[in-house]
């Protein structure tokens, strides 16, 4: 699933091509996504000008300015991607939606599994219930070790699913939670409420470091993901634990172990993570 770095990579890749452009046409080839495409999506954005793209957690926000302003709320689901193509480039299988712009560029949505969606928000995006209950962005000053420490008191939940809770902090998905816990030397099985403030400070720093590095590398491509320019993400080459169960730890040489936490696979090093 595209996680925060992949969505941020997408935003940065498509923003220069769509911001300030006018939407001249919307083409919906497949309306049956995880959430059905609104029936009026082919009409609402036409004639509107695209504002500054934003990201909240794993959601991409495309503001549209005009007589009836609104925002397209986009989620890439398990296998979705948004990329820029030019008029005349024939759609491939699973190219479900096109936003045709006034300069001949097309913002094209591709989603083989159809677990993503796009919705129209007429009001303030922050008031939408999918966004209003979210925790702070992990790369912001609002997220730090003190927040993790205070929110974890009394919690018996393992620290890895605790870190992946969007009410605690947004956008730290399975890949990056595993990598941050390894970098911080924290066992993912340890109860969240039994971790010290000092170790949470280290973990918060590791989350920021891992996510920043992943964004610089264009995200992680395991199967389907490509960024806004059609390029895969290269952070896969830097993964220390995710997907490497049974292989030697890059730090100590010991064998990495696989466990299941919160119904998600988690790989860790029993020697380096305590």
Q: Could you list the residue range(s) of the whole structural domain that residue 228 is in?
A: 145-268
Identify the pLDDT of residue 237.
63
Measure the CA–CA gap between 187 and 245, rounded to whole angstroms: 15
Once rounded to an integer, what is the mean pLDDT over residues 143-170?
A: 97
Three-state SS at 224: coil
Tally of domains within the chain: 2
Same domain flag for 17 and 127: yes
**58 carries an active-site annotation:** yes
Task: Go through 58-76 and write b for each residue having 16 or more CB atoms within 10 A of its CB, e for each that does not.
Answer: bbbbbbbeeeeebbbbbbb
Annotated binding site for DNA: 94, 113, 155
**264 carries an active-site annotation:** yes
**161 carries an active-site annotation:** no
Identify the pLDDT of residue 136.
97
Q: Decide: pTM greater than 0.85.
A: yes
Same domain flag for 170 and 251: yes
Of the residues 201, 264, 270, 271, only one is catalytic, namely: 264
Question: For residue range 24-39, what is the model confidence (pLDDT) as tens digits?
Answer: 999 999 999 999 999 9
How big is the CA angle at 159 (ends 4 and 171), to the nearest 5 degrees?
10
Query: Does 233 score more than 90 pLDDT?
Result: no
**3 carries an active-site annotation:** yes
Same domain flag for 110 and 213: no
CATH number at residue 246: 1.10.8.50
Three-state SS at 57: coil
How big is the CA angle at 51 (ends 45 and 52), to the nearest 5 degrees?
140
Same domain flag for 74 and 149: no
């Amino acid at each position: 699933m595209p996680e925060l770095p992949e969505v941020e990579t997408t935003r940065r890749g498509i923003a220069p091509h769509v911001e300030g452009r006018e939407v001249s046409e919307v083409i919906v080839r497949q309306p049956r996504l995880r959430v059905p495409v609104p029936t009026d999506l082919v009409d609402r954005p036409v004639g509107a000008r695209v504002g500054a793209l934003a990201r909240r957690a794993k959601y991409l926000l495309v503001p549209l300015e005009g007589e009836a302003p609104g925002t397209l709320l986009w989620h890439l689901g398990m296998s979705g991607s948004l990329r820029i193509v030019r008029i005349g480039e024939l759609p491939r299988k699973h190219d479900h939606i096109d936003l045709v712009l006034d300069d001949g560029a097309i913002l094209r949505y591709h989603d083989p599994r159809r677990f993503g969606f796009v919705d129209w928000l007429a009001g303030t995006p922050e008031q939408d219930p999918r966004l209003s209950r979210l925790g702070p962005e992990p790369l912001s000053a609002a997220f730090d070790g003190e927040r993790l420490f205070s929110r974890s008191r009394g919690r018996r939940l393992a620290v890895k699913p605790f870190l992946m809770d969007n009410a605690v902090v947004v956008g730290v998905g399975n890949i990056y939670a595993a990598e941050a816990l390894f970098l911080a030397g924290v066992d993912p099985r340890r109860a969240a409420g039994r971790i010290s403030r000092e170790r949470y400070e280290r973990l918060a720093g590791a989350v920021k470091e891992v996510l920043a590095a992943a964004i610089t590398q264009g995200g992680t491509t395991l199967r389907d993901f490509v960024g806004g320019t059609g390029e895969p993400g290269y952070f896969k080459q830097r993964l220390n634990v995710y997907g490497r169960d049974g292989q030697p730890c890059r730090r100590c040489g010991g064998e990495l172990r696989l466990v299941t936490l919160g119904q998600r696979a988690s790989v860790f090093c029993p020697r380096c993570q305590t």
